[in-house]
Chain A
Amino acid sequence: MKRYDIVIIGAGPAGLAAAVAAFDDGARSILVLERDREAGGILNQCIHNGFGLHTFKEELTGPEYADRFVRQAGERGIECRLNTMVMDIGAEPGAAPDAHPMKYVTAMSREDGLYQVAARAVILAMGCRERPRGALNIPGYRPAGIYSAGTAQRLVNMEGYLPGKKVVILGSGDIGLIMARRMTLEGAKVQVVAELMPYSGGLKRNIVQCLDDYGIPLKLSHTVVDIQGKERVEGVTIARVDENRRPVAGTEETYECDTLLLSVGLIPENELSAGLGVELSPVTSGPVVNESLETNVEGVFACGNVLHVHDLVDFVSEEAALAGKNAVAYVRRLEAAEGGAGQAARDEAEGGAGQAARDEAEGGAGQAARDEAEGGSDSVEDAVKSADNESAVVEISPRSGVRYTVPSHIRMSHMQEEQVVRFRVGDVYKNCFIRAYLNGRQIVSRKRPVMAPGEMEQLKLKKGQLLEYMEPGTDSYCLEIKVEEK
């Protein structure tokens, strides 16, 4: 079986950025596995522009943005196997639970059949899938012509086919908005975009550029209540919904159409993660991760849309690079524990007898020991002398208006000088404050003129700032992040 330091599942924007960052941080034993025919992931079908404003300071199309990373990975000679489906990720069979088991990745392809590779660290970067019609319980027939917006996008942009000519779109997620414009440009008539919520789930710029510019009406607080047509869609009835999102009788309008596109949410694709025992958040459907983007399964990191659905790919790249670096750091710690501490330590760790050695390597409790293993190279950790707080863990608690946060907790020992906490809000807020409270004491307050569920928010925490509010002898902290009006 081939062994790698880092195996990355998925060669979309997250997987590629993680691979490049890991390489640049010194890792050389990297394998990227991709199920599709080419690297780049969903960006390959996103032929509109608007990508890369943050990362490259220019406006690229999806394939162009992907290509930058594909090239970077290529220039570095990173091994990427295409047309390869990862079937399973499991722990090394028979390994002691408190050792540092290799992860066994089972993959399959036409050329190589079914095979396994072993990895010290795994980075999950599988992306997400679209919520299907069935999950919405829309009544009506089940004819042809009902597509999720992403499937339609693939058909139009990659396969060269037009899925329909008269279109109703349910859901104002970004893909739905983009497809409203795309279908219009291809000569289809997009009659209406209905959105269940009283606000759009997409970016403001997409509403302006994809709907307003083409005179496509957006009906907020509306949903589909019936689909007509037994073979192909013949009509779609939408109705207004009340504040409990229930259709209001008498408000039905029927649109004659041949196609219903659905853009009603994205779900991180975590079946592999679940199989590995990764804890998933009920809110994001993505893994629960710490400040290093590491899941509850040691050495397994997550980034991109498999972790939580992003609005901009630039943030995916940034997040994935962090996951890549952290995976390298993890591998170094293992190596140091094995090699640096000498053969004895390794023997003990393998033999399962030397508890102390194992504790050192494990780091859960013996934090100081792990820092030594890391080589003490981290300037932040050098700078922080308050050893008491080094073992502190800050649980981040999303409160009023904040739906979730990534990460969900911060180990002070591993915290960088600055930690980005990303989250989404559950409603539209105007002129509100994002505030963070550490054990009840306000440490950050930032005014935000507008926040909407369609846009990801972020808060930057400074390590020094947290330490300032920490008390010796206390290891457990709660950081509440909430939206407040005043």
Chain B
Amino acid sequence: MDDMLACRYMTLEPAKHRKVAIFRRKMSGFEVFYGLREHKVRGNPRVSCGLKAMDDMPACRYMTLEPAKQVKRGIGMYDVIIIGAGVSGSAIARELSRFRGRFCVLEKEEDVCCGTSKANSGIVHAGYDAMPGSLMAKLNVQGNRRMKALSGELDFPFRQCGSFVVCTEADAMPKLRELHERGVKNGVEGLRILPREEALAMEPNLSDDVVAVLFAPTAGIVCPFGLNIALAENACTNGVEFYFDTRVQEIRKQEEGFSIKTSKGDYETRYVVNAAGVYADMFHNMVSEEKICITPRKGEYFLLDKSAGGHVTRTIFSLPGKYGKGILVTPTTHGNLLVGPTATDISDKEGTDTTADGMAAIREKAGVSVKNLPLRSVITSFSGLRAHEDGHEFIIKEVGDAPGFIDCAGIESPGLTSAPAIGVMVADMLKGKLDLQENPGFVPRRTGILNPALLTAEGRNRLIADKPAYGNIICRCEMISEGEILDAVHRPLGAKSLDGVKRRTRAGMGRCQSGFCSPRTMEILHRELGIGMEELTKSGGGSKMITGGRKEAAL
């Protein structure tokens, strides 16, 4: 039987909370496959954990346990605490979960993938940009090579669509050739410079000014949420604990390891991995005298309707300018068209607002390499912050004057591409330092949220007969059913907010931007998680959806 099929959830009454470790000892024949998770079931707080039957035991659906001593999360020494549940932190957690140990991820937001990881281009770069010999170049190429297999293993959307770097001025050809050479040095396969005619034949909407393009067949696009969520879910399945709404406030070196003060209590750990994105400098500087500085570099984007999704079939870059890669035009894995980003250095690490200037800049520059962009079809605009470190290089190493503290800082583009390789690199470092042993129960595969649109009509009907919720469309723009939303809510590290549902299922991501489905999705979250309507949020914290009941309803 498939590993995952034998997995069952188990829910305990609040009075019977206990440590994962105790489960392991008391329940011979069962392996905990993901850690404690606090949530609410119809308003009652619950702690649950996942169990998986060992080979010689039948799958067990319901289990009761004898009461044991009450355990609070965070008690005792962790082997590794990762700060940040973005794509880097989640990739590290997933690779770490191949080994036995006590690992947890602390995240200040209510969900994984809430910072830089959620607002970027979703590009799997080929690897010709970074300087040969740099860590960026190495991890980019490695990450690119791993992405396809990983997308199969963890079931997230990825498409190797290839990319063009478009040169529109004959004078700039040396720069294009330089990129080509750099790519070859970095080990990028299949790079070719195509003349104008060939390029136009492949992408008819390229600018009329195109002189030549650098074609990178290994480049691709990935759903950034899909990648991040898949990594975190799989880590969770394999025993890594995740704590949300948990803001790290202070990190102190102790005799053994570190103590971490958070908004939800204190933690102790032997090793800290600092994967805090734009906040990585803050945590690094708490423990080290060798200061680093991360500048949030804002990138604004337009997302266009699916009707524009076929305008180009590959990612189209302009030859890089002073800041980053300029404005790119790319299809997304969901079939939309994405245009952006700008590049503006700011000081506010939460400054994810869009600006009139930024949007004007996109409009102005978007046409440089692609013509006739249907900017009338914009369905939303957003901005993300790149974690730009002064040296423009990934900082992935143990901090010299703080042994046990491992930085994963300055992860800007190509950070998303590199994430799989970053995970392996950091896990390897920790394996050596902690002498970690293999986790025999490691489940390498994760099944994503079932997309019924990919089934045959017969398959879909069997599904609906079994689970009628799959016949009930909630998001009419993206055609997302209640069944998919229920899956998103109830799986490990499930969605708790509207944005959480959106990132997992695309419900609310379409052309009406959740106008029709948000009341229905709110109803489902309320019913399934027992969250009061007035407590429901768009994205955690104070992002409450409503402010109260109607007058007569309140009577």
Contact = CB atoms under 8 A, between A and B. Distances in A.
A110 B465 CA distance: 8
B553 interface: yes
Interface stretch (A135-143, A385-393, A430-438): A135-143
Contact of B461 (A113, A150, A162, A274): A113
Interface in B538-555: 538-539, 541-553
Interface string B443-465: 00000000000000100110011
B381 A137 contact: yes
Nearest to B498: A144
A155 interface: yes
B354 A132 contact: no
A151 B303 CA distance: 22
Contacts of A142: 352, 382
Nearest to B523: A159
Contact of A161 (B379, B516, B548): B548
Interface stretch (B68-76, B223-231, B275-283, B472-480): B472-480
B464 A161 contact: no
A75 interface: no
Given A161-B533, A161-B546, A161-B550, A113 B471 contact: yes
A87 B523 CA distance: 23
B353 A141 contact: yes
A415 to B, nearest CB: 34
A111 B468 contact: yes
B265 interface: no
A159 B526 CA distance: 13
A283 B463 CA distance: 41
Interface string B348-364: 00101111101100000
Contacts of A108: 460, 464, 471, 473
B555 to A, nearest CB: 11
Contacts of A259: 547
A186 B479 CA distance: 33
Most chain B beta-carbon contacts within 10 A, residue among A134, A225, A226, A230: A134
Contacts of A134: 303, 378-381, 513
A160 B522 CA distance: 13
B550 A186 contact: yes
Nearest to B513: A132
A44 interface: no
B542 to A, nearest CB: 4
B515 interface: yes
Given A113-B464, A161-B546, A148 B515 contact: yes
Main secondary structure of the interface of A (DSSP, over half): mixed
Q: How large is the interface on A (under 10, 10 to 19, 20 to 34, 35 or more residues)?
A: 35 or more
Given A87-B479, A161-B533, A143 B380 contact: no
Q: How large is the interface on B (under 10, 10 to 19, 20 to 34, 35 or more residues)?
A: 35 or more
Contacts of B350: 230
Given A132-B513, A133-B513, A162-B548, A141 B352 contact: yes
B537 interface: yes
Contacts of A87: 479
Contacts of B544: 144, 232
A279 B219 CA distance: 36
Contacts of A162: 546-550
Interface in A321-366: none
B425 interface: no
Given A114-B464, A139-B354, A230-B350, A160 B553 contact: yes
B538 A155 contact: no
A424 interface: no
A369 interface: no
Interface in A117-143: 129-130, 132-135, 137, 139-143
Contact of A129 (B307, B358, B469, B516): B516
B516 A151 contact: yes
A129 B356 contact: no
A258 interface: yes
Given A35-B473, A132-B512, A139 B359 contact: yes
Most chain B beta-carbon contacts within 10 A, residue among A112, A247, A259: A112
B515 A129 contact: yes
A41 to B, nearest CB: 12
Contacts of B353: 139-141, 226-227
Interface string A52-72: 000000000000000000000
B151 interface: no
A226 B354 CA distance: 9
B476 A85 contact: yes
A160 B545 contact: no
A226 B351 CA distance: 13
A445 interface: no
Interface in B283-336: 302-303, 307
Interface in A148-195: 148, 150-151, 154-156, 158-165, 185-187
A139 B539 contact: no
B518 interface: yes
Given A108-B471, A111-B468, A258 B547 contact: yes
Contacts of B537: 144, 231
B43 interface: no
A35 B471 CA distance: 11
Interface string B372-392: 000000111110000000000
A110 B464 contact: yes
Contacts of A143: 538, 543
A83 interface: yes
Contact of A114 (B457, B477, B515, B538): B457
Given A133-B380, A137-B381, A151-B515, A83 B472 contact: yes
Contacts of B378: 134-135, 137
Interface string B465-506: 100110111001101000000000000000000000000000
Contacts of B533: 161
A231 B354 contact: no
Interface in A244-263: 247, 258-259
A109 B513 CA distance: 23
Interface string A229-243: 011100000000000
Contacts of B303: 134
A160 B533 CA distance: 11
Nearest to B517: A151
Most chain B beta-carbon contacts within 10 A, residue among A142, A160, A227, A274: A142
Interface string B389-427: 000000000000000000000000000000000000000
Nearest to A108: B471
Contacts of B550: 156, 160-162, 186
A150 B519 CA distance: 11
B471 A132 contact: no
Contacts of B382: 142
Contact of A135 (B379, B457, B471): B379
B381 A85 contact: no
B543 A232 contact: yes
Interface in A385-424: none
B515 A130 contact: yes
A150 B512 CA distance: 12
Given A144-B539, A162-B550, A109 B471 contact: yes
Contact of A159 (B380, B512, B519, B543): B519
A350 to B, nearest CB: 26
14 contacts: A108-B460, A110-B469, A130-B512, A132-B511, A134-B513, A135-B380, A137-B354, A137-B381, A139-B359, A143-B538, A154-B519, A161-B553, A231-B542, A232-B542
Interface of A: 35, 83, 85, 87, 108-114, 129-130, 132-135, 137, 139-144, 147-148, 150-151, 154-156, 158-165, 185-187, 225-227, 230-232, 247, 258-259, 271, 274
Given A111-B471, A114-B461, 14 more contacts: A85-B476, A110-B464, A110-B469, A114-B464, A132-B513, A144-B539, A161-B548, A161-B549, A161-B550, A163-B545, A230-B352, A232-B542, A232-B543, A271-B477
Q: Which 3 A-B pairs have the closest CB atoms?
A: A134-B380, A132-B513, A144-B538
